[in-house]
Amino acid sequence: MANEEALFQRFGREIAAGTVLFKEGDPGREMYVLQSGKVTLTKNVRDVEKVLAVLGPGEFFGEMAIISNKPRSATATVSETARLLVIDPRTFEAMIRGNAEIAVRLIKKLSDRLAEAHTQIERLLVADPQSRVVHAMLQAAISRGKKGPEGLLVEMPVRELHVDLGVSEQLLLSLLERMERSGLVSQVGPEALVVRDVDQLQEYLRFLEYKWKFGEG
């Protein structure tokens, strides 16, 4: 705790909710480590603002712009008053060189993000729009679902899936309603859902793929 406070004294800023830290396309000169509060990352996709992630304490972001020296690939907005460490390229390089734990953590985070990008590409290659939605839910449940009394709790912007997956909002809402009636999933507000049984959801995905393949849907 004392170490965190010392770092904050040296590199820290307290930033109010609603503040835009950087916008998509801006040059990147700093990365950020979130000590407290929340930051939302968004990106414009076909003129629609899409939420990429909501980050909490312990997360870092903005590192790719200073590693690759390219413009910001997303917009970062403080969604809950935050304490942030603001790290410039020289300090970042010194931290990587001098602390193996930080380097390993960065590599792991970049690996996770690469895996997520591959998953998104895999989703978009699924031809059937309904299968694409179910595939996304299934992958999220398997990779980051948290066990609860009713199944696996998955944090994901459910209502924004149609933008992410290239399906219509009407199709998404209709499919969600059908899946809830069947007891496959239940929504927990706009940012989460519960997958009741992964095996049953996988079976439902196979059923949709079969219908699409043989022209029965």
Chain segment 155-211, per-residue pLDDT in tens: 887 777 777 677 888 888 899 899 999 999 998 877 889 999 999 999 998 888 888
pLDDT value, residue 217 = 46
Enclosing H/E stretch for 154: strand 151-155
pLDDT value, residue 169 = 84
Distance set, CA 75 to CA 67, 119, 157 (Å): 17, 22, 17
Domain ranges of the chain: 2-118, 126-213
CATH code for the part of the protein at 2-118: 2.60.120.10
Exposure of 215 by Cβ count < 10 A (0-12 exposed, 13-18 middle, 19+ buried)? Answer: exposed
- The total of other beta-carbon atoms located within 10 Å of residue 4's CB is 14
CATH code for the part of the protein at 126-213: 1.10.10.10
Q: How far apart are the first and last CA of the chain?
A: 57
Opening angle at CA 170, ends 207 and 191, nearest 5: 85
Q: What are phi and psi of 214, to 5 degrees?
A: -100, 10
Q: Is 215 left (phi over 0), alpha (psi -120 to 50) or beta?
A: left
Instruction: Name, in order, each residue with C-beta under 8 angstroms of 160's C-beta and a sequence gap of 6 or more.
Output: 50, 51
Rounded CA separation 195/199 (Å): 10
Max avg pLDDT among 13-27, 66-80, 89-103, 152-166 = 13-27
Residue 141: how many CA atoms within 13 Å on its side-chain side?
A: 25
Please give the residue that has the higher pLDDT: either 201 or 96. Answer: 201
* Predicted confidence band of residue 77 (pLDDT cuts 50, 70, 90): very high
What percentage of the chain exceeds 70 in pLDDT? 85
pLDDT value, residue 1 = 52
* Predicted confidence band of residue 16 (pLDDT cuts 50, 70, 90): very high
pTM of the model: 0.55
